[in-house]
Amino acid sequence: MGKALIIGAGGVANVVIHKCCQNPDVFEEICIASRTLDKCEAIKNKLTGSKTVIQTAQVDADNTDMLINLINKFRPDIVINVALPYQDLTIMDACLATGVHYLDTANYEPPEIPKFEYKWQWAYRDKFEKAGITALLGSGFDPGVTSVFCAYAQKHYFDEIHYIDIVDANAGDHGYPFATNFNPEINIREITAKGSYWEKGNWVETEPLELKRVYNLPEIGPKDIYLLHHEEIESLALNIKGVKRIRFWMTFSEKYLTHLRVLENVGMTSIEPIDFEGKKIIPLQFLKAVLPDPASLGPRTKGKTNIGCIIQGVKDGKPRTYYVYNVCVHEECYAEVGSQAISYTTGVPAMIGAMMILKGIWKGPGVFNIEEFDPDPFMEELNRCGLPWKESFAPGLID
């Protein structure tokens, strides 16, 4: 049916590629392109015998001309961007220049400003519309599946949604005193930034990790959850009409937070360049270099994740509460594709989003957040592709 160029060869890319190869009728040919060719080759070598034809290429995705050359050579139908958020705009530019659909899992963030905002990518709406191609933003788990969960709730269960609490819990243990489950630089920038939530049409800002609750998660049990700013809040506030409050919560263990506090206190999480032996270095990038590679956590991580949305609103004039979530087991993900559940829960929806576009189920010229499309076919694929979801109509609520 189609050809996909996959940019990046990290933990998430590994899952996307395995999942594309499990759907060879849709993904007939793929090209894995990243900064380090060896990493692309290593993933390709794990998939010998796959019906999907796999090529590899070296590319610097900060360089639009290099991307354009690669796209012109491979002629994909879609580019799946699972490199870093810093590359979103250069890759979107290359897609525009070549008339190819675009998909990512994280919104653009300028390297020097630790702030997730859609404004840079939403500024491409006209250009994509005029070019007649689709850009699908945020097709991971959160953003991604959580946004589709909200669209599904809106379509099937509510006349009006008033409150959304997204809860992302990881009860997995990798055995290291401190490691991040996805790219350490992106992860630590997210957690050390100020928190915020959407209430009555405004952003309410909090100090980093200031708001804490305990939530009893199905299959995981009670966990400390902390309020973070998260990018899907911004698009859901626009796309879920009448919503009054949206908050995002994530679990962190006391051990993780203690390490993070020490690293912050000694300046290791800073993104301000410093002079080191005659060279400028960014402490957070140096820290990334000494921390375990998230892609290496797969064989060590045991336990479950639970990510979902607790939604309150009204249906037929009566109050209604709805909870939809997915539970994923780290060891099962590793056994299937050689990655832990954080990469798995991101990579599967990226593949499904690309499938929706290649099959023409989701179409339209322009730049779209994932909740703008019909959630039903995506929800069906989640069940088929390894991320089954569960529902409850009487969940505990977060005050």
Contact residues: ligand NDP, CB under 6 A = 8-13, 34-36, 39, 59-62, 82-85, 87, 105-106, 140-144, 182-183, 186, 294-295, 342-343, 346
Q: How many other β-carbons are positioned within 10 Å of the β-carbon of residue 65? A: 12
Sequence-ordered strand ranges (E) for the chain: 2-7, 27-34, 53-58, 78-81, 101-104, 134-137, 160-170, 195-199, 202-206, 212-217, 221-228, 245-251, 274-276, 279-281, 304-315, 318-329, 366-369, 389-392
Give the nearest distance from C-beta 41 to ligand NDP in angstroms: 12
Beta carbon nearer to ligand NDP, 147 or 312: 147
Closest CA to 74 of 98, 106, 91, 48: 98
Beta carbon nearer to ligand NDP, 77 or 185: 185
Give the nearest distance from C-beta 301 to ligand NDP in angstroms: 13
Give the nearest distance from C-beta 130 to ligand NDP in angstroms: 27
Beta carbon nearer to ligand NDP, 47 or 295: 295
Tell me if residue 223 falls in helix, strand or coil. strand
Tell me if residue 357 falls in helix, strand or coil. helix
Q: How many other β-carbons are positioned within 10 Å of the β-carbon of residue 253? A: 13
Give one DSSP letter per residue of 149-161, joined into a string: HHHHHHHHT-SEE
Give the nearest distance from C-beta 11 to ligand NDP in angstroms: 4
Q: How far apart are the first and last CA of the chain?
A: 48
Beta carbon nearer to ligand NDP, 158 or 179: 179
Q: Which amino acid is at 347?
A: G
Beta carbon nearer to ligand NDP, 23 or 345: 345
Give the nearest distance from C-beta 315 to ligand NDP in angstroms: 29
Beta carbon nearer to ligand NDP, 154 or 170: 170
Give one DSSP letter per residue of 160-177, joined into a string: EEEEEEEEEEE--B-SSS
Give, as one character, the DSSP assignment of residue 292: P
**CB contact at 8 A, 92 and 135:** yes
**CB contact at 8 A, 218 and 325:** yes
Beta carbon nearer to ligand NDP, 179 or 311: 179
Tell me if residue 205 falls in helix, strand or coil. strand
Beta carbon nearer to ligand NDP, 85 or 313: 85
Give the nearest distance from C-beta 265 to ligand NDP in angstroms: 25
Give the nearest distance from C-beta 395 to ligand NDP in angstroms: 22
Q: Which residue is nearest to ligand NDP (CB)?
A: 10
- Residue 143, preceding peptide bond in cis (omega within 30° of 0): yes
Beta carbon nearer to ligand NDP, 240 or 342: 342
Give the nearest distance from C-beta 63 to ligand NDP in angstroms: 8
Give, as one character, the DSSP assignment of residue 140: B
Give the nearest distance from C-beta 144 to ligand NDP in angstroms: 5
Sequence-ordered strand ranges (E) for 285-393: 304-315, 318-329, 366-369, 389-392
Q: Structure tokens of 383?
A: 């069940």
Beta carbon nearer to ligand NDP, 158 or 250: 250
**CB contact at 8 A, 342 and 328:** no
